[in-house]
Amino acid sequence: MRAAYVERHGPAASIRYGELPVPAYGPTDVLVAVEAVVVDPVDTFVRSGAFRTPTPFPFVIGRDLVGTVAARGNGAPGFALGDAVWANSLGHGGRQGSFAEYAVVAADRLYHLPEGVDPVQAVAVAHPAATAFLGLFRHARLRLGETVFVGGGAGNVGSAAIRLAAVAGARVLASARERDFERCRRTGATVVVDYRDPDGTERLRSAAPGGVDVYWDTSGHHELDAAAAVVARGGRIVLSAGRQARPVLPVGPLYTRDVTLVGFTMSNAAVHDLAAAAVVINRRLADGTLGACIAGELPLSEAAEAHRRIEHGELAGTRLILRP
Ligand SMILES: NC(=O)c1ccc[n+]([C@@H]2O[C@H](COP(=O)([O-])OP(=O)(O)OC[C@H]3O[C@@H](n4cnc5c(N)ncnc54)[C@H](OP(=O)(O)O)[C@@H]3O)[C@@H](O)[C@H]2O)c1
């Protein structure tokens, strides 16, 4: 089969495109004929070695896929040949990735694509929406009626977080560039401030005088003084990006108001948490309340170019699809 893979950790240019054997599947695995994949920021961290995770070489890159069942083990009875399926947790933790004509997916990491849902939209939202879901509901324990601030609200994770929080009944405040205010409002934010506005924190305080219960800057720019000024007593500040960030921690304003800092990465997500996210993602895809902005499509042979584009920040708020 044709695949995009690396033989060691390295730059985007080290990605090769060529023949690899169709992978063997075990009794509880499904062999998926891949229809489309998408490039995620984390793919570049795994490829370069910046995020340390077991990577058997030659290592097929990529985390997400949508496709159809080509074969399955006897211990994967929930799937039948030809079923439309998606996955979003390949390519790390010793698992081979998705950027190939065929990929092996453990049955408990594979989800049916609901009837009538566009496969491209499904693969495009899978990773950011699962991140948004687990960040909001698993880690920040968002409750009905609470107020959420989503920084980077026009980004892929930010858009999904606004949407999922709003649909769940939260009041959502967001930050973005002014040109993206409308996108944030469309996805469900009721107040949007410019993240470069020096009065942004004041504006958020006036919009939520009681403070925000969940403060999540999805962009990874951690201005914790601003967060401390805006977060409510008992609030949760979510950390999910900014690998190199070393912000000053305003200890007093946080502990004296019972504020929790909670960090997480999808790479550590338990299978049952990923499955819970998939249920909600499927429901929201099916009712049309979740979607992604597609930047374009490339053939899988252009995987190195896809990594270059995402590393150069050319894909903010959009998703680049590749097809084998
Ligand atoms: N922990 C996890 O499991 C996990 C999962 C998924 C992603 N991530 C990480 O989360 C981050 C965001 O991912 P993404 O796919 O949403 O990226 P993205 O689509 O590029 O979105 C980032 C957004 O942040 C905005 N932004 C830039 N500077 C900002 C600032 N100072 N304050 C507020 N917003 C700012 C950008 O706006 P402009 O376009 O105006 O610059 C853009 O809309 C990445 O670092 C990614 O690696 C982590």
Q: Convert the pLDDT of each residue in 237-280 to its tens digit.
A: 999 999 999 999 999 999 999 999 999 999 999 999 999 999 99
CA of 146 to the centre of ligand 1 (A): 23
Asked if 285 and 125 count as a contact pair (C-beta separation under 8 A), the reply is: yes
Residues in the chain: 324
Q: Which residues pair with 215 in a beta bridge?
A: 149, 237
Q: Which atom of ligand 1 is nearest to the CA of 264?
A: 1
Which of 219, 224, 240, 265 gets mutated to test ligand 1 (max ligand atoms within 8 A of its CB)? 219
Q: Which atom of ligand 1 is nearest to the CA of 315?
A: 20
CA of 319 to the centre of ligand 1 (A): 13
CA of 107 to the centre of ligand 1 (A): 30
The string of pLDDT tens digits covering residues 161-187 is 999 999 999 999 999 999 999 999 999
Which of 218, 311, 315 gets mutated to test ligand 1 (max ligand atoms within 8 A of its CB)? 218
CA of 31 to the centre of ligand 1 (A): 32
Q: Which residues pair with 66 in a beta bridge?
A: 36, 86
Q: List, edge to edge, every strand of the sheet that includes 2-6.
A: 16-19, 2-6, 59-60
The string of pLDDT tens digits covering residues 88-131 is 999 999 999 999 999 999 999 999 999 999 999 999 999 999 99
The model scores a pTM over 0.75: yes
CA of 263 to the centre of ligand 1 (A): 15
Residue-level pLDDT at 13: 98
CA of 94 to the centre of ligand 1 (A): 26
Phi, psi of 43 (to 5 degrees): -60, -35
Residue-level pLDDT at 91: 98
CA of 241 to the centre of ligand 1 (A): 8
Domains and CATH numbers, the chain: 2-113+293-323 (3.90.180.10), 127-266 (3.40.50.720)
Which residue's alpha carbon is nearest to atom 5 within ligand 1? 131
Which residue's alpha carbon is nearest to atom 32 within ligand 1? 195
Residue-level pLDDT at 317: 98
Structure tokens belonging to residue 281: 């993602």
CA of 59 to the centre of ligand 1 (A): 26
The pLDDT confidence band at residue 151, using thresholds 50, 70 and 90, is: very high
Which of 157, 159, 184, 265 gets mutated to test ligand 1 (max ligand atoms within 8 A of its CB)? 157
DSSP 8-state class, residue 21:
P
Q: Which atom of ligand 1 is nearest to the CA of 177?
A: 40
Asked if 297 and 38 count as a contact pair (C-beta separation under 8 A), the reply is: no
The string of pLDDT tens digits covering residues 42-88 is 999 999 999 999 999 999 999 999 999 999 999 999 999 999 999 99
Structure tokens belonging to residue 71: 């074969």
- For the chain, counts of helices (H) and of strands (E): 9, 16
Q: Cα torsion for 40, 42, 48, 50, to the nearest 10°?
A: 160
Asked if 174 and 189 count as a contact pair (C-beta separation under 8 A), the reply is: yes
* Ligand 1 pocket, Cβ-based, cut-off 6 angstroms: 41-42, 128, 131, 151-152, 154-158, 175, 177, 195, 217-221, 240-241, 264-266, 316-317
Q: What is the mean pLDDT of residues 305-322?
A: 98
Strand 147-151 and strand 171-176: the pairing is parallel
CA of 73 to the centre of ligand 1 (A): 38
* Gap between the Cα atoms of 266 and 252, Å rounded: 30
Mean pLDDT for the chain? 98
Residue-level pLDDT at 263: 98
Q: Which residues pair with 261 in a beta bridge?
A: 237
Q: Which atom of ligand 1 is nearest to the CA of 128?
A: 6
Q: Which residues pair with 298 in a beta bridge?
A: 322
